[in-house]
Amino acid sequence: MSLYGLGLRASFKISDTIRDRGLQAPKDIVRFDNLPYGTDTRWQTLDVYRPKNAGGTALPVIVSVHGGGWVYGDKNLYQYYCMSLAQHGFAVVNFSYRLAPRHKFPAALQDTDAVFHWVMAHAVDYHFDTRHVFAVGDSAGANILGLYAARCADPAAANIPVTPPPGFVPTALALNCGQYCISRGQKGLIAHLLPDILPDGGTDAELHAMDVTAHVTGRYPPCFVMTANNDFLKEQAPLMTAALEHCGVPCMYRCYGDETQKLGHVFHCNIRAEAAQNCNTEECGFFKRFME
């Protein structure tokens, strides 16, 4: 693993630990933990969270694809964020996936596909309303989710190597502080991580395969695209929004923060913050528009 990747893991771990210190599972949520969706018992596991008062009612689903630069993170770091989404009346699926550099692209994408297959296969067990399956992804997770949705919407996207459930397309997405457009010569975090992420270090074909904006068509699901005024990837959200608008896809763009409030990358995961609560409420409201 590159020194940059190792440093990213260390710095993200420190900030995430501080963010979630003292948080506990809310009493109005029932959780089902460490359910296997694949054969790798370390990484291919997921949790399901549901509002306790929902009983056996079939609920709309949110699948969460965590961030971490493709080299960091797991479901434990997203449990409190995901349970806060469940409090809005959803069944939430929070999963870990295999990380680079040990598992390079497209491993995380293939794991994401396996989770959606799991959701469809276990709808009765966990009372999922599979007519309304939404998804959220942030940072690298927004890239993974964005590519997966493109493959669902357009089976001709053959260079996205997954096979979604027959006929399945997510009802709507929330893409948060994501990396969407990847180009040669691009600077910043992604440039340093390419050797860790991609088998051949970033060939033209690999960069095209990871470019979400290159795969958007008119069949892409509706999207809530979010960034923040102090997000180091804030220039990416307008690129994704432009690709969606060009294809006539229903979308909503939000850049959170103002002159008095500087909000950083994936601020929405800090569920104690009012700005995060407002953002997550808006995204859940966006999803509910597609249940009417």
**Domains in the chain: boundaries:** 3-291
Dihedral sign for Cα atoms in the order 139, 140, 146, 148: negative
Task: Please tell me the chain's helix, strand, coil percentages from 3-state DSSP, rounded to the nearest 5.
Answer: 40, 20, 40
- Number of alpha carbons in the 13 Å side-chain half-sphere of residue 276: 16
Angle 79-101-32 (CA atoms, 0-180°, nearest 5)? 20
Token pair belonging to 252: 């909503």
Alpha-helical (H) ranges within the chain are: 3-20, 79-86, 107-121, 123-126, 140-153, 189-197, 204-209, 236-246, 274-288
CA distance 38 to 130: 20
Cis geometry, peptide bond prior to residue 106 (ω within 30 degrees of 0)? yes
Query: Under a CB-based contact definition with an 8 Å cutoff, are residues 240 and 174 in contact?
Result: no
β-pairing, 59-65 vs 128-138, is parallel
Superfamily of domain 3-291: Alpha/Beta hydrolase fold, catalytic domain (3.40.50.1820)
Do residues 174 and 82 touch, judged by C-beta distance below 8 A?
no
Rounded CA separation 13/24 (Å): 18
The sign one gets for the Cα dihedral 257, 258, 264, 270 is negative
- Tens of pLDDT along the chain (292 residues)? 888 788 889 999 999 999 999 999 999 999 999 999 999 999 999 999 999 999 999 999 999 999 999 999 999 999 999 999 999 999 999 999 999 999 999 999 999 999 999 999 999 999 999 999 999 999 999 999 999 999 999 988 767 889 999 999 999 999 999 999 987 666 667 778 899 999 999 899 999 999 999 999 999 999 999 999 999 999 999 999 999 999 999 999 999 999 999 999 999 999 999 999 999 999 999 999 999 7
pTM: predicted TM-score of the whole model, two decimal places: 0.97
Distance CA 54, CA 48 (A): 14
